[in-house]
A and B are shown apart, each in its own frame.
Chain A
Amino acid sequence: MLVESIMIALEGLKANKLRSILTMLGIIIGVGAVIAMVSIGMGVRDKVQSSIAGLGSNLLIVSPGAASQGGSRQAAGSGITLTAKDATAIARQVQGVTLVAPMVSRQYQIVYGNQNWTTSVQGTTPEYLDIRNFTVEEGGFFTSQDSEARARVAVLGKTTADNLFSGVSPVGKTIRINKAPFRVVGVLGSKGQSAGGMDQDDVILVPITTAQERLLGITYVQNINIQAASSETIDQVQEDVTSLLRQRHNLAANVPDDFRVQNMVAVMATATEATDTITLLLGVIAAISLLVGGIGIMNIMLVSVTERTREIGIRKALGARYGNILLQFLIEAIVIGVVGGLMGIGLGVGASYIISAVAGWNTVISSLAIVTAFGFSVLIGLFFGIYPARKAALLDPIDALRYE
């Protein structure tokens, strides 16, 4: 009987091809939108995760000033609490720390020949290269001897190099940072954009001592990058760094920290959570269109029942029972859901590919989204089909036969 009902339902749909397809369109678009939206959301999440990971793995960043708690920021002068000695102490005394790199930075105008370019000049130590997963593409990196000697040497990020030296190798050339001459010793490999959309290649690295004394004229550092040995120990390292710095800064127990230790693993978790929320939101909005598609099914099924009242009357007169008619119309609705769902999957997957190809967005097609959206489209066919199907099945045979 089930096979029979499916055949009858398919015949019914075939008899009204255009209408069946238009009805399906609601489901096709709904399912397609869910899949496309979720894959965009997942793509954003993947991109954010990989660019946070690209920042350096198991990274802690110590910056001066208290964590802004309760909205109260620390008083002026709090930007000068960290020193290079703090960095050295962390490297020496905290267990589970692999690399430490203090840093200072400021925007300067860089001049080479008649070219100029304004970029962030960052003073740091050679460890920074490994912490941030930078590679040297050309030439070399400055050494700790350069640091001690406050040497005027610089390593250019790819973007900076391209903008100052079009086509020429920068290594060995002299550039001017804030009018002071620096010798270029190397060029970094490209890293692309960061999570925030910043160009990570638009930098110049110089020894930290050179930057502090010859450029900025300061003795403190602006932050300290710390790489922990593993993600399991990073929380412990964070605690140890905090207590070491409190001790070094002679902070009494009731005084708040005059620095802030940011755990990038935690930042990653927060970012992932945020992108998950975005994905959910996009998915829900798309799911609403799926629901609208379902209402479309109900609408058309009701029209179809009214239109086919006479047919229902004839079938009932010939011995069709309640269940036969119910099944016939329910299956029509479910078939719309199933076929629409399958085509919607095609549309969603196709749209995801096109979006990533055309807009350059990262998209990740999720099989969970596909299965869920498809399952929902079938359920929607069932749910919105029940009322019209019941209406048809409850028709009185003689009333239905009299219907004009």
Chain B
Amino acid sequence: MEAISLSDIKKIYQMGDNVVHALDGVSLAIAGGEFTAIMGPSGSGKSTLMNILGCLDRPTSGSYRLDGQEVATLSDDELAVTRNKKIGFVFQSFNLLPRMSALQNVALPLVYAGVEKAERIVRASRSLAMVGLDTRMDHRPNELSGGQRQRVAIARALVNDPTIVMADEPTGNLDTKSSNEVMEIFRQLNAQGRTIVLVTHEPDIAENARRVVTVRDGQIVRDERKAG
């Protein structure tokens, strides 16, 4: 069974008289354990697609099945639980809470998962260690470099052990060295059997993925799989 299955997804924004078809009939199936990169020019609808995949947004029409479950039938609270338990989402702009330490930021999904405090600290530390930040646990986001912040965000996405990790331009704000470190983490996660979907502008980042889906004007125009 596919981990993700989209059929004829549309997302329409009505801006006064102007109708924007951000997604215009997207159908896509992603199997469990796949590493998929989504590419496309700016404004093509990549983020819109990712937000729908990450259960942050709802499509205007079409069906989205996540692990066989039709997402449209879920309530807002059920969506929240899905985001919490199944999906790890890494934002382009990190979206860390500025007043909290790296450890507290990483532990936040566990708060909403109802995990005990002691357990939260153990798991958040482990997650930070996984991205190589176990020496920066008490730093606040503004005391970290961009690459370190992105790694905190990844650690947070991983902390609740999701089967799918989604990232919207995770390396968009990083230099080459940091980008490579971050991509290495994604490769490892994929090697552990997790499904990875990431959006990127850069072809060499997309190189890491075994499948590259190209979006243009809200439609999928190319879907390539690398051999092996």
Contacts and interface: CB of A to CB of B under 8 A. Distances in A.
Interface stretch (A146-154, A251-259, A313-321): A313-321
Tell me whether chain A's interface is mostly helix, strand or loop, or mixed: helix
B109 A319 contact: yes
Contact of B99 (A1, A15, A317, A318): A15
Nearest to B48: A398
Contacts of B109: 318-319
> What's the interface size class on A, roughly?
20 to 34
Contacts of B96: 314
> What's the interface size class on B, roughly?
20 to 34
Given A4-B111, A314-B97, A321 B83 contact: no
B99 A321 contact: no
B2 interface: no
A27 B108 CA distance: 32
B56 A317 contact: yes
A318 B85 contact: no
B151 interface: no
B168 to A, nearest CB: 11
A316 B95 CA distance: 12
A324 interface: yes
B84 A319 contact: yes
B57 A398 contact: yes
A192 B95 CA distance: 74
Nearest to B100: A11
A316 B114 contact: no
A360 to B, nearest CB: 51
A317 B57 contact: no
Interface string A299-341: 0000000000011011111111111100000000000000000
Interface string B48-88: 00010010110000000000000000001100110111000
A289 B171 CA distance: 54
B52 to A, nearest CB: 9
B113 interface: yes
Contact of B76 (A314, A317, A322): A322
Interface in B39-55: 51, 54
B83 A317 contact: yes
Given A4-B111, A319-B112, A320-B112, A311 B97 contact: yes
A329 to B, nearest CB: 15
Interface string B90-102: 0100011101000
B211 interface: no
A316 B80 contact: yes
Nearest to B160: A319
B164 to A, nearest CB: 14
A397 interface: yes
A310 B109 CA distance: 16
Q: Which of B77, B112, B114 has the most CB of A within 10 A?
A: B112
Interface string A168-201: 0000000000000000000000000000000000
A292 B108 CA distance: 36
A11 B97 CA distance: 12
Contacts of A55: none
B186 interface: no
A157 to B, nearest CB: 72
A7 to B, nearest CB: 9
B140 to A, nearest CB: 12
Contact of A319 (B57, B85, B97, B99): B85
Nearest to A314: B95
B89 interface: yes
Interface string B161-187: 000000000000000000000000000
14 contacts: A15-B99, A314-B96, A314-B97, A315-B112, A317-B95, A318-B108, A318-B109, A319-B80, A319-B85, A319-B113, A320-B112, A321-B77, A322-B77, A398-B57
Given A317-B54, A317-B95, 10 more contacts: A4-B111, A314-B95, A314-B97, A315-B112, A319-B80, A320-B112, A324-B112, A397-B57, A397-B83, A401-B91
Interface of A: 1, 4, 8, 11, 15, 310-311, 313-324, 397-398, 401
